Amino acid sequence: MATLNPESRVLIVMTGGTICMKSSPEGLVPARGFLQAGMAPRPSFNDGSKLDPLPVMTDASTKEYFPSLRTPPSTYSNHIRYTLYEFPKLLDSSSISSAGWGQIATTIQNNYSLYDGFVILHGTDSLAYTSSALSFMCAHLGKPIILTGSQASIFALQSDAVDNLLGSLIIAGTFMIPEVCLFFHHNLYRGNRATKISASAFDAFASPNYPPLAKVSAMGAEVNWNLISRPRAIAKFEVQTNLDTAHVACLRIFPGIKPEMIDGVLRLEGLRGLILETFGAGNAPEGEDGSLTAVIRSAVQRGVVVVNVSQCQSGFVSPLYAPATALGKAGVVFGHDLTTEAALTKLSYLLALPDLEYNEITTQMQLSIRGEMTEVLSTQFTHPATDVPVITERQQAFTALGHAIANGDVDAVVQLLTGDPYGLLDAKDYADNTALHLAAVAPDVRVLEELLNRGASVHVRNRASNTPLFLAEQVGATEHVRLLRESGAHFHVEETERLRGDT
């Protein structure tokens, strides 16, 4: 049954960090009971409703129920109901490891079907590393995962915690952005594009080589849908938890560095990969008689993957100058515009994949697999400005797409979506049906398959709170249901409750 103020569900996972800390005689210490102490007393987080607890899978087989709160109606006229799960042992941001990343990813996996989105509270020191790591660990992601933290505790008089947490919560519960993101100081960044730029400023993170996915202002959140990366395969959400960070090192080149220093790192027992932070566009000293380059070439020949990233925050690593060309001839991989955090976690991810050969790893390091880098050879298209209001043209284009879907005209669907400047996969009709909702009850399953292969979200609900899977099930479209389930679709919690009530 439709409601005036539909409700989405978000799981907040508290791993630790400054955001949840309180003062003590020993200094700042993590505060337990964050939901009740830090969020419940604030009207922006709590509309005062008496709500039942929400289920949380604390491991793969254990379901517990935690108190829940609900926000007042947002700018988008929906409530966000949420609960908070605190890790039994809170993680120190400065000492987090791949085991901690695995714990976060597994928690999301265990609760994936229960919630519309996830917010991860995390310390800021290694926040960019964690957001990058999770982006590679989470494959075929169809729901938003937003990491955030704060420079000051939520209990401090002057703090950025409320804005960061509330912004993350609203975006996670409102927009089906299928990415691992980092939200800080009114900006939503792609998680593997962000880096920390300040130890004290509230504007502590930046995304030097990629624009923000969304910005929050007094008018609400403005999402740049054309920047959103989508899973483009018919497959279910899955995670890989065993990143091989133990055998990857990172080394920063400096003037006067000795080849013996680099050789010492490259000969560490078990080393499989090195992130080399070089000057400018990828330059490094060759050493006397090319000795430094020779050290690197020897390591490459031993099977060590060496990736060249720039010490500069913005720009590309490329063979523009002779020193960079020399590194390329030695077998060093150009990291293009990868951040150091993304390069290290991506390489750790690839090294952990079973049966991936050296050449495959070096190839994948130069290709974008989660939107983490700009591929130099990819063609960029821009559309000229027009005097006709974009919203009118978008409505016209979506109407045409709806007719093509209803008629089973696959060719027309392909034509309308190729080079689409309007974001038609995210457009909605008067009942908030997306193109995938329409295709779920359309006659030709090939249209549904085309939309799924282009990254249409299977988790978006219409105004009646129905998913495409629910609609397909209701009309008995067996092949549509099968294809949607293969893409990771599942009934929303509210749909499951409705179906139980009908039986």
Which residues are catalytic, by number? Answer: 18
Please tell me the distance from the alpha carbon of residue 79 to that of residue 463, in angstroms, as a whole number.
13
Please tell me the distance from the alpha carbon of residue 126 to that of residue 97, in angstroms, as a whole number.
10
Q: Cβ contacts of residue 224 below 8 Å, gap of 6+?
A: 211, 212, 213, 214
Q: Which residues of 344-358 are buried (b: 16+ CB within 10 A; e: fewer)?
A: bbbbbbbbbeeeeee
**Contact present, 70 and 81 (Cβ < 8 Å):** yes
Tokens read off for 480: 């549509």
Please tell me the distance from the alpha carbon of residue 146 to that of residue 82, in angstroms, as a whole number.
14
Report in angstroms the alpha-carbon separations of 57 from 106, 110, 120, 500. Answer: 10, 6, 16, 21
Distance from chain centroid for Cα 231: 11
Q: What region, left, alpha or beta, does residue 487 occupy, with left being phi > 0 and alpha being psi -120 to 50 degrees?
A: alpha
Q: Cβ contacts of residue 442 below 8 Å, gap of 6+?
A: 405, 406, 408, 448
Three-state SS for 382-416 is: CCCCCCCCHHHHHHHHHHHHHHHHHCCCHHHHHHH
Tokens read off for 454: 């282009």
Three-state SS for 463-496 is: CCCCCHHHHHHHCCCHHHHHHHHHCCCCCCHHHH
Pairing state between β 21-24 and 195-196: unpaired
Task: Give which of 415, 433, 425, 436 is closest to 394, Cα–Cα.
Answer: 425
Please tell me the distance from the alpha carbon of residue 47 to that of residue 494, in angstroms, as a whole number.
20
DSSP 283: B
DSSP 129: H
